A and B are shown apart, each in its own frame.
Chain A
Amino acid sequence: MRFDYDTSYHDGKRLLRYPSQWLAYGLLVAGLLIAPWVLPSYYVGELNYLFILSIASLGLMVLSGYTGQVSLGHSAFVAVGAYAHAWLLAQGVPFAASLLLAAAISGLVGLALGMPAIRVSGLYLAMVTLAFAILIEHVIGRWKSVTGGYNGMPVDPPVLFGADLSDLTSFYYLCLAVLAVVLVMLVNLMRGRTGRAFVGVRDSEAAAASLGIWVAGHKVLAFVISAAVTGLAGALLAHHVQYLTPEGFNLLLSLELVLMVTIGGLGSLRGAVLGAFLIGMVPALISQVKPLLGERIARQFGLEIFFFGLILAAFVLFEPKGLNGRWLKIRAFFQTFPLYRKDVFRRGKSYMKSERYR
């Protein structure tokens, strides 16, 4: 077992506190840095996609996992980010500025949705965001002068300070860098004053308000941050798919994002990344197993969505804390080695409590 023994005030604030953490994260970073040189290009492309999904999933995690505001419409922000970025690039805005502006525009859209939407919560908020995503999809389809409508819109290749980043390996490093920056910023945000206020709002609005936290303001702020980060992911996704159509940002994408944060484990950034990797890999894994399933089942496109459902159901039923919860259990098992008991994480029996009056 490990005991905290702090010798200075700074010890408690460090992100990586133990040599083992330095080792583990160092190995992870080293592995990710050399990955494009050793992996076949197919896997590098897949990893790019997974990184982008992770960024979007992190964005949703801020809102759903930390602030407790369910959103079934985050594909709207991915779409806004992607289209804003592509349009800005087409107007001749430099890549880096366009990336940040796309995130800012997406954040503004988040502000526009968040301000009215925080009047409702729970199921109602889920419905408002769902309807919002459908609205945005229709708006993009109709606004032909900017988005090209249903015919789609090509995306200019990314050029950063004169260097073309459109080949797989440089794009890999770009995505990895953005993911790392977003992750570090969010980790720091979430363990600071703002993040704690978010968690307070999630756990009890009344308690948070009585502690002097501005509940409405923090809810809107969570919306804005979440939308901006998701929009950033959208901007990168635009380069990954290279050609934007409204169908690419449909309801299924929203639901996949919700799947990622739920399966990853609500309220944990690690979970958001793990969930994005798991859900992002499902289509590729299914295409790997398809040859084993026989002709009749394998050629149907319903297989993918069926597996999404199966995975989600399994997690909700058997591991509601998600991949992050499972990871914590495994870690506790090894840290406390002979002492671990199943009951440490046991759930009590419960009856339905009405949420109608909340």
Chain B
Amino acid sequence: MSADLVNIAQLALNGMATGAIYALVALGLVITYKATEVLNFAHGDVLMASAFVAWGLIVGLGLPFWLAAVLTVAFAAVLSWQIDARVMRRIVGQPQFAGVMLTIAIAFMVRGLVSMFFGPESRTYPTPWSQQTTHLGPVVVADLNLVILSVAMMLTAGLYMFLRRTALGVAIQAASQNQLAAYLSGIRVKRVTSLVWALAGAVSGACGLLLAPIALVDISLWIVVLKALAALVLGGFGSIPGAILGGLLLGMIEQFAGVYLPDGSKDIAAYVVLIAVLVLWPRGLLGEAHGRRV
């Protein structure tokens, strides 16, 4: 293989590794969006909070990684469940804007609380895969990135099957399409909605757990949610496979933009993609086509 091809393959793989994180975050966003039509701006902050909790458990208390991982995911799930059950439920039926504002408010509160409890310093913690790399032919990849990629794939497949094949999954879909009708056919809409939030929270918890060793545990970790939005738009808003595809593609776009385009374009690539896709092609790659109802 020529050096150029190896270079491109390496970049693509790096891009997919970053993209897998965007995909995972986007996955959490899209679940809540599909079920409740709330775009959860607090998602990134739940992620950030779980990264801090994981740090507290692993470094602070000295727990083994797997126990800490389970506790962290549980923490994120319970936090998200509570956010829905105590706060978000009250604004059901109000315009979409209210949901945006309320999740931003929750995001601010979570961010404020975390920085009050843990302080502004960045930190890091070890995982079983830190500092290890795998050679795939001439291409090198960090083990942690492979883990993230496979977790993203497994979660997507699992969620897809769950929503399509199980009774609870179908109930979630029903509740997302018409709350009143779902309620009248015996679905406990409130509980189902909270469950979806908990599910999304668990995904973001897992994401925070895996992202933190790469990007440092820091308050600014929430910014990944903006990249995830771009991924979501690229893949098609409201589509679960689209979230994964968009995430992986966006990661690669960023990598290639960083190498082949002028200095600084890596930082803005995601936002350029977001604007361009929304303005020129709002359906995205795998989005459902929606007509406009007058």
Task: Name A residues whose Cβ lies closer than 8 Å to a Cβ of B.
Answer: 70, 116-117, 119-120, 122-124, 126-128, 130-132, 134-135, 138, 142, 206, 255, 258, 262, 266, 297, 300-310, 312-313, 316-317, 320, 349-358
The listed residue (A123, A316, A354) touching B101 by CB distance below 8 A is: A316
Q: A117-B279, A119-B279 are in contact. List 12 more A-B contacts (CB 8 A).
A: A127-B229, A127-B278, A128-B275, A301-B115, A306-B112, A308-B105, A309-B111, A313-B106, A313-B109, A350-B93, A357-B293, A358-B292
Cα–Cα distance between A351 and B237 once the two chains are bound (Å):
23
Partner of B112, one of A70, A122, A127, A304: A304
| Complex interface bits, B281-294 against A, C-beta within 8 A gives 1, otherwise 0 | 01000000011111
Chain A residues contacting B113 (CB-CB under 8 Å) are: 302, 306
- Cβ contact within 8 Å between B100 and A70: yes
Query: Which of the 9-residue segments B132-140, B155-163, B164-172, B263-271 touches chain A?
Result: B263-271
- B115: shortest Cβ distance to chain A, in Å? 3
- Closest 3 A/B residue pairs (Cβ): A306-B112, A350-B93, A309-B108
How far is it, in angstroms, between the C-alpha of A154 and the C-alpha of B277 when the chains are bound? 37
- Residues in B with CB closer than 8 Å to A357 are 290-293
CA distance A115 to B113 in the complex (A): 40
Interface presence of B272 (CB below 8 A) = yes
Kindly list chain A residues whose C-beta atoms are within 8 Å of the C-beta of B257: none
* Complex interface: chain A residues within 8 A of B91 (CB): 316-317
**Residue contact B100 to A310, C-beta cutoff 8 Å:** no
The residues of A that contact B94 with a CB separation of less than 8 Å are 320, 350
B104 at the A interface (CB under 8 A): yes
Enumerate chain A residues within 8 angstroms of B109, measured Cβ to Cβ.
306, 309-310, 313
* Measured CA separation A312–B101 after assembly (Å): 7
| Chain A, residue nearest B237 (CB) | A124
A266's nearest neighbour on chain B, judged by CB, is B97
Which residue of the partner chain B has the closest CB to A127?
B229
Contact of B51 with A by CB under 8 A: no
A residues in contact with B107, CB < 8 Å: 309
Other-chain residue from A126, A128, A302, A316 in contact with B116 (beta carbon distance below 8 A): A302
User: In whole angstroms, what is the CA distance A255 to B226 when docked?
Assistant: 14
Candidate in A300, A350, A357, A358 with the most chain B CB atoms within 10 angstroms: A300
Closest Cβ–Cβ distance, residue B51 to chain A (whole Å): 16
Which of A131, A258, A305, A307 has the most B CB atoms < 10 Å from its CB?
A131
With known contacts A138-B268, A317-B91, A120–B291 Cβ distance under 8 A: no
The answer to whether B292 touches A313 (Cβ under 8 A) is: no
Chain B contact residues: helix, strand, loop or mixed: helix
B37 touches A352 (CB 8 A): yes
Q: Which one of B105, B120, B291, B292 contacts A312 once the chains associate, using CB atoms below 8 Å? A: B105
Q: List 23 A-B contacts (CB under 8 A).
A: A120-B278, A123-B100, A127-B229, A127-B233, A128-B274, A130-B229, A131-B274, A255-B104, A262-B101, A302-B114, A302-B116, A303-B116, A305-B111, A306-B112, A306-B116, A309-B109, A317-B102, A320-B94, A320-B98, A352-B36, A356-B37, A356-B238, A357-B291
Q: Which of A132, A134, A302 contacts B111 (CB 8 A)?
A: A302
Docked Cα-Cα span, A132 to B105, in Å, equals 22
CB-defined contacts of B37 to chain A, threshold 8 Å: 352, 354-356
In the bound complex, how far is the Cα of B292 from the Cα of A132, in angstroms?
25
**Is the CB–CB distance between A258 and B101 below 8 Å?**
yes
A313 to B36, Cβ gap below 8 A? no
Which residue in B87, B115, B116 is a CB contact (below 8 Å) of A317?
B87
Do B278 and A128 touch across chains, with their CB atoms under 8 A apart? Answer: yes
CB interface residues, B 231-257, toward A, < 8 Å? 233, 237-238
In the complex, B130 has a CB within 8 A of chain A? no
> What CA separation (Å) do A130 and B226 show in the bound complex?
9
Query: 1/0 per residue B14-54: CB within 8 Å of A?
Result: 00000000000000000000001101000000000000000
In the complex, are the beta carbons of A351 and B179 less than 8 A apart?
A: yes
Which of B87, B97, B111 contacts A70, CB < 8 Å? Answer: B97
Is A122 touching B275 in the complex (CB atoms < 8 A)? no
**Docked CA distance A301–B111 (Å):** 10
Asked if A303 and B112 make an inter-chain contact with CB atoms under 8 angstroms apart, the answer reads yes
CB-based contact A131/B275 at 8 Å: yes
Give the residues in chain A near B98, CB-CB below 8 Å.
Answer: 316, 320
Q: B90 touches which one: A127, A134, A317 (CB < 8 A)?
A: A317
Please state if B104 and A138 are interface contacts (CB–CB under 8 Å). no
Whether B126 is near chain A, meaning CB under 8 Å from some CB there, is no
| Complex-state Cα separation, A266 to B94, whole angstroms | 14
Which A residues are in CB contact (< 8 Å) with B68?
none
Q: Are A128 and B226 in contact (CB under 8 A)?
A: no
Partner of A302, one of B115, B270, B292: B115
* B119 close to A (CB within 8 Å): yes
In the complex the two chains form, what is the Cα distance from A357 to B270 in whole Å?
Answer: 26
Given contacts A117-B279, A138-B268, contact A312 B116 (CB under 8 A): no
Task: Give bound CA distance, A161 to B6, whole Å.
Answer: 66
Q: How far is the CA of A351 from the CA of B114 in the complex (A)?
A: 33
| Cβ–Cβ < 8 Å partners of B177 in chain A | 354
Q: Is the CB of B278 within 8 A of A122?
A: no
Contacting residues, chain A, for B290 (C-beta < 8 A): 356-357
Nearest CB on B from A66, distance (A): 14
Please report the C-alpha to C-alpha distance between residue A142 and residue B264 in the assembled complex, in whole angstroms: 8
CA distance A115 to B13 in the complex (A): 37
Residues of B within 8 A of A306 (CB): 108-109, 111-113, 116
User: A300 to B119, Cβ gap below 8 A?
Assistant: yes
Chain B neighbourhood of A302, CB < 8 A: 111-116
Tell yes or no: B180 within 8 A of A by CB: yes
**Which residues, 174 to 189 on B, are CB-close (under 8 Å) to A?**
177-180
**B-side contacts of A354, CB under 8 Å:** 37, 177-178
What is the chain A residue whose CB lies nearest that of B39? A123
